[in-house]
Amino acid sequence: MLREILISLRTRCAPAFAALGYRYAAVACVGRAQRCAAAWAPHQENTKRRLLAAMAEAPAGSNTAVILGSGPCLDLPMAELLARFSRVLLVDVAHPPDARHLARRHAGIELVEMDLTGTALSLADRAAAQVPTPNCNAFVDEPGLGLVVSANLISQLPLVPLRHAQRRWPDADLGGFARSIVMAHLDHLARFTCPTLLVGDMQRRIVDPDGKVTEWEDPLFGANLPAGEAEWEWTVAPVGELSGGWSIVNRVRAVRMDRRLPTASGYGGP
Ligand SMILES: C[S@@+](CC[C@H](N)C(=O)[O-])C[C@H]1O[C@@H](n2cnc3c(N)ncnc32)[C@H](O)[C@@H]1O
């Protein structure tokens, strides 16, 4: 508890975002990552490997990488990123101590505090009459851009907005709202022309103490990721993290959004 208070105090998060619950969520994520470090390591290594493969195709002359959902940066090959790019923009609604520490040590790292759904301002506006429309164009015209990565972010984007929408507009199509946030992020990524990598959860399995899957959840609220380059399992809650021997396993997909396969419905499954 004391540890989490300290992490919270050292997490950079604008008051408007903190008031919506983003600081709390970011600190909870750091705590989970610390407790589940061994179980999360293979997933983080897979993410780094895909990022390095995308980085290898960054155009000559490009000097900037943008990492969306950088958080504590546990899934980023930071040394390699800094060796290739003179500017690495870490973009998140909250920057925990690990990210701040990296930025202090490396002049090339810039911390950008931003809501990547485009809904936070409306959610903070007590007078807003209806669920906001998500939209984000950030960095699309950034000069020198050589790599964009959405780093285990997409399934997190709807969570805070959905919690607020449930309280304020309980009769709205909340599933549709959550799905529109996921789709808006895919639209955002699709606007970049440099190597653009999405790594994100596409399925969540709830596993009972006997190892039997009791439930499949859709973390993307009905939106589909485009066909990907690789998929793997991420034991996001290993036995011991939840009570009673239950666990949760995510299916993760890596997608190169700059060369995704077009489908009739826009973003199709594999
Ligand atoms: C699962 S964590 C991944 C963090 C990092 N990629 C890692 O693995 O170390 C998801 C991140 O998404 C961020 N996030 C959630 N909603 C966001 C939003 N609307 N805009 C920007 N970042 C957001 C959280 O603050 C958190 O750092």
| Res. 264 pLDDT band, cuts 50 70 90 | very low
- The pLDDT score that the predictor gives to residue 3 is 85
Q: What angle do CA 117, 123, 125 make, to 5 degrees?
A: 135
**Whole-number pLDDT of residue 29:** 93
Ligand 1 centroid distance, CA of 26 (Å): 7
pLDDT band at 265 (very low <50, low <70, confident <90, very high): very low
- Within 8 A by CB and 6+ apart from 222, the residues are 175, 179
Tens of pLDDT, residue by residue over 205-217, are 999 999 999 999 9
What gap in Å lies between CA 247 and CA 236, rounded to an integer?
8
- Closest ligand 1 atom to residue 156 Cα is 15
Name the residue with the closest Cα to ligand 1, atom 12.
Answer: 69
Position 115 confidence tier, pLDDT thresholds 50, 70, 90: very high
Model confidence band, residue 270 (pLDDT cutoffs 50, 70, 90):
very low
pTM, rounded to two decimals: 0.95
Per-chain mean pLDDT for the chain: 94
Distance 92 CA to ligand 1 centre (A): 6
Between CA 260 and CA 183 the distance in angstroms is 15
Q: Cα–chain-centroid distance for residue 209? A: 29
Q: Which pLDDT score, from 0 to 100, does residue 76 have?
A: 98
**Closest ligand 1 atom, residue 157 Cα:** 16
State percent of the chain over pLDDT 70.
96
Residues 164-169, mean pLDDT to the nearest whole number: 95
**Which residues make Cβ contacts (< 8 Å) with residue 168, sequence separation at least 6?**
128
Where helices occur in the chain by DSSP H, the ranges are: 2-9, 15-20, 22-35, 37-55, 78-84, 97-105, 120-124, 159-168, 174-190
- Which one is predicted more confidently, 129 or 190? 190
How far is the centre of ligand 1, averaged over its atoms, from the C-alpha of 71 (Å)? Answer: 5
pLDDT at residue 144, rounded to an integer: 98
Cα dihedral 51→52→58→60 (10° resolution): 160
Residue 61 sits at φ, ψ, to 5 deg, of 90, -15
Sign of CA dihedral 126, 131, 133, 135: positive
* pLDDT tens digits, 33-69: 999 999 999 999 999 999 999 999 999 999 999 999 9
- Going by C-alpha positions, the residue among 98, 81, 80, 93 that lies closest to residue 33 is 98
Rounded to the nearest 5 degrees, what angle is found at the Cα of 260, between the Cα atoms of 206 and 217?
Answer: 15
- The whole-number pLDDT of residue 4 equals 86
Nearest Cα residue to atom 27 of ligand 1 = 71
Identify the pLDDT of residue 267.
Answer: 53
Enumerate residues lining ligand 1, CB below 6 A: 26, 29, 69-75, 92-94, 115-117, 151-153, 156-157
What pLDDT is stored for residue 203 in this prediction?
96
Taking 60 as the threshold, does the pLDDT of residue 262 lie above it?
no
